[in-house]
Amino acid sequence: MSLNTSDIRADFPIFRRKINNNPLIYFDNAATTQKPRQVIESIKNFYENHNANVHRAIHTLSQEATELHENARGKIAQFINSKSSEEIIFSRGTTEAINLIAYSWGLKNLKKNDEILISEMEHHSNIVPWELISKRKECIVNYARVNNDGTLNFEDFKNKISKKTKIVSISHVSNVVGIVNEIKKIGKIAHENNSLILVDGAQSVPHMKVDVRDLDIDFLAFSGHKMLGPTGIGALYCKKEHYENMDPFQGGGEMIKEVNFNMKTQKSECVWNEPPWKFEAGTPNICGSIGLMEAVKYLNQIGMDKVWNHEKKLTKYTFDRLQECKKITIHGSLDVSLKCGIIPFSFQGLSSHDVALFADNFGIMIRSGYHCAQPLHQVFNLKSSARVSFYIYNTLEEIDRFVEVLREIEHF
């Protein structure tokens, strides 16, 4: 059964806007998604009726805020089929979640000459933290190669993983080419080598059913703003068994249970809070967690299978329509079964920014540049690329209009 995009679009106030006197067509969903009124109203309701800090007071407002915040943690745990809400650590997003593992787990467990395995398709957020940690711990970051169609080179991956590999950190879905990696297979190989696996789920959790227990992964990072939620909120799934091997990421309120000061020695003794709060220093993004909970409810009401099938339909239709454009080159695999709803392309004779600016004149929002994945562009020998990415509110008619504009650019 297909999605009723008309009903869905009615929930998104932004689609009442016009850009340059044209209806807004938003094809930059891999960067961030638009927000339904249910999410917007949940944030407004919190500030108007329940605003207080959490876990810090016994008054009514604090108790209400705490209940809402922790209910959000539980709803997110259910969404990815975590065993317990205690395996969910709130973060500012995928970037902070990956950094948390790099520093909390990496600094404590990595030793000189240990190895970290990532891939050439990674977002900068899954490259830079490991490069920084490797310099501090004198360990080695290895990169599994990517094939010409954007898929992971499994032979190279298997050749580069070894007993020296302490963690594999890899994207579930490439934010450039939309390739869906076989995480269950990758994780099995990692565990056979006594390695942990961290999955960058920024482009998967919003678009498909992700079951952390079925995948048998150790860590999963994802962002709220890519799945209809607010910016500045995300989550890290962490298998409970790994908490004892992780030090706090930041220090301050909330992550501490006791700070005992010795008057004689003038020193303090700190006792950490229990996980996950041990890794959540300071006042959390309470309205963010509530907004994300509402986004999860919205997606659950639609059904993640329908979300996934809708994107597949849009992707296949776009591939077919783009064949009409003689100056367009699509990068990566054209096999829809391997992909999420992300399509990178180049336009002969124009930079990606030129194409994006031209599209903007017609109210069509697309991405241009490196998409925070410069190494993969170097693998493809590209200076940059244009990218369209779809979500639940996009339609076939919008794709038709986009192709019309591309044809107009060709004539121009």
Rounded distance between C-alpha atoms, residue 178 and residue 361, angstroms: 26
Rounded distance between C-alpha atoms, residue 123 and residue 32, angstroms: 15
CA proximity to 348, closest of 319, 376, 325: 325
Three-class secondary structure of residue 179 per DSSP: strand
Q: Which residues contact 52 (CB under 8 A, 6 or more apart)?
A: 59, 61, 62, 64, 65
Block residue for tokens 């309205």:
287
β-strand pairing of 342-347 with 328-330: antiparallel
Kindly tell me the burial class for residue 319, based on how many C-beta atoms sit within 10 Å of its own C-beta (0-12, 13-18, 19 or more): middle
Helix, strand, coil fractions of the chain, as percent rounded to 5:
45, 20, 35
Residues designated as active site: 372
State residue 27 phi and psi, 5-degree precision.
-115, 35
First-last CA distance in the chain = 40
